[in-house]
């Protein structure tokens, strides 16, 4: 899986990624997302240039403002990258599933006070509802390991982490 080109949807599909649904469609119905552990990607098809909102749609979990400056968003933007966020669901110590984790992510992006602070830069993008979500169920692999490998592959190509994958 790690040998695939992260900028090619066909290669992502061949590597076992499923879904490829617009975020706004999944807001309405996320029943197609499996209830297993795995990894997921938020994609920016067409490499639409980042247009930012001063105040995004993300919730204020534990009173923390998820919004950052437009300058910080611009500095984090990765030119010509299909993948703008890599996430995981589940581990040895977590019973989270792709379904539960993505449902949290979508809720946070719709302003709810939910614990999915990671990937919050997505919610300051003007086109966030049009982004594509895909996922790969992992029955035998540790999602933390696979997520880490995907981020390393991304960094090798782009010399920085995906737009919304923060280090803190």
* DSSP letters for 2-57: TTS-TT-HHHHHHTT-EEEEEHHHHHH--TTS-SS-EEEEEE-GGGPPP-B-SS-S
The Cα 147–Cα 142 span in angstroms is 9
pLDDT in tens, 77-92: 999 999 999 999 987 7
Token digits for 142? 């540790």
Q: Indicate the range of 57-61, 69-73, 112-116, 155-159 predicted with least confidence.
A: 112-116
Cβ–Cβ under 8 Å, residues 17 and 134: yes
Cβ–Cβ under 8 Å, residues 165 and 79: no
Q: How many CB atoms are located within 10 Å of the residue 74 CB? A: 10
How does the average pLDDT of the chain come out, rounded?
90
Output DSSP code: residue 157. Answer: H
Average pLDDT estimate for 5-22: 95
Cβ–Cβ under 8 Å, residues 43 and 91: no
Average pLDDT estimate for 25-48: 92
The Cα 40–Cα 137 span in angstroms is 9
Calculate the dihedral angle through the C-alpha atoms of 20, 23, 28, 30, rounding to the nearest 10 degrees: 50
Give the pLDDT of residue 157: 94
Average pLDDT estimate for 42-70: 86
pLDDT band, residue 64 (cuts 50/70/90): confident
The Cα 97–Cα 131 span in angstroms is 21
pLDDT in tens, 107-154: 888 878 776 667 889 999 998 999 999 999 998 999 999 999 999 999
Residue 46 has pLDDT above 80, yes or no: no
Give the pLDDT of residue 148: 94
The Cα 104–Cα 114 span in angstroms is 6
Residue 12 has pLDDT above 60, yes or no: yes
Residue 5 has pLDDT above 80, yes or no: yes
Where exactly are the structural domains of the chain? 9-158
The Cα 97–Cα 108 span in angstroms is 16
């Amino acid at each position: 899986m790690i040998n695939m080109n992260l900028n090619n949807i066909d290669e992502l599909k061949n590597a076992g990624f499923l879904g490829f649904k617009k975020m706004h469609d999944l807001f309405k119905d996320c029943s197609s997302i499996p209830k297993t552990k795995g990894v997921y990607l938020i994609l920016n098809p067409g490499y639409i240039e980042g247009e930012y909102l001063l105040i995004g749609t993300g919730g204020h979990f534990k009173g923390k403002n998820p919004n950052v400056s437009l300058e910080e968003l611009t500095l984090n933007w990765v030119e010509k990258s299909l993948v703008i966020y890599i996430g995981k669901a589940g581990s040895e110590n977590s019973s989270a599933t792709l379904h539960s984790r993505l449902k949290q992510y979508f809720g946070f992006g719709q302003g709810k006070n939910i614990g999915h602070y990671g990937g919050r830069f997505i919610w300051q993008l003007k086109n966030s509802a049009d982004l594509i979500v895909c996922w790969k169920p992992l029955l035998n692999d540790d999602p933390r390991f696979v997520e880490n490998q995907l981020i390393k592959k991304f960094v090798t190509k782009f010399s920085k982490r995906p737009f919304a994958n923060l280090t803190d």
